[in-house]
Amino acid sequence: MFKQLSTTDPVDRVNVILNGRLVEVPGGCSVAAAVLSQNPGYTRTTPVSGSKRAPFCMMGVCYECLMVINGQANQRACCVMVQNAMHIETQQGVGKPLEGRENG
Ligand code: FES
């Protein structure tokens, strides 16, 4: 669904753990952009209905991109720069990582 525009500059790549899986993503961008490059489908579920949400505004306003980043819940993934060896988890409800996973 999302792919980086072609460029003549080489794109740095970093390795992150996304929902327990080691993946290579573009560096120099937000966690939200990096996660979207992996087509995860969604980044969090709502606390009330459990409906799935994904980044929308990409500028820190809508809070649809909340994820568990390095064990910290409720992080706006669009406001955090991706770094090598980050642990990124889909957030369920008020701040639990994806079911069956531990923080960190
Ligand atoms: S995508 Fe809207 S706050 Fe992150």
Q: What is the CATH number of the domain that holds 61?
A: 3.10.20.440
The count of structural domains within the chain is 1
Integer CA distances (angstroms), 48 to 6, 11, 52, 68, 78, in order: 40, 39, 11, 18, 23
pLDDT, one tens digit per residue, over 50-80 is: 999 999 999 999 999 999 999 999 999 999 9
71 in a domain, yes or no? yes
Question: Global pTM?
Answer: 0.85
Which protein residue's CA is at the shortest distance from atom 3 of ligand 1?
60
pLDDT (tens digit per residue) in 15-26: 999 999 999 999
104 vs 21, higher pLDDT:
21
State in Å: Cα 62 to ligand 1 middle: 5
Q: In angstroms, what is the span from residue 33 Cα to ligand 1's centroid? A: 11
* Separation of CA 55 and ligand 1 centre (Å): 5
Ligand 1 pocket by Cβ (under 6 Å)? 32, 55-58, 60-65, 76, 78
Q: Would you say residue 4 lies in a domain?
A: no
Q: Report which secondary-structure segment, H or E, holds 31.
A: helix 31-36
Host domain of residue 52? 14-94
CA-to-CA separations, 49 to 22, 52, 98, in angstroms, rounded: 30, 9, 16
Both structure tokens of 55: 């980044």
Question: Do the domain assignments include residue 102?
Answer: no
Question: Residue 103, Cβ neighbours under 10 Å: how many?
Answer: 13
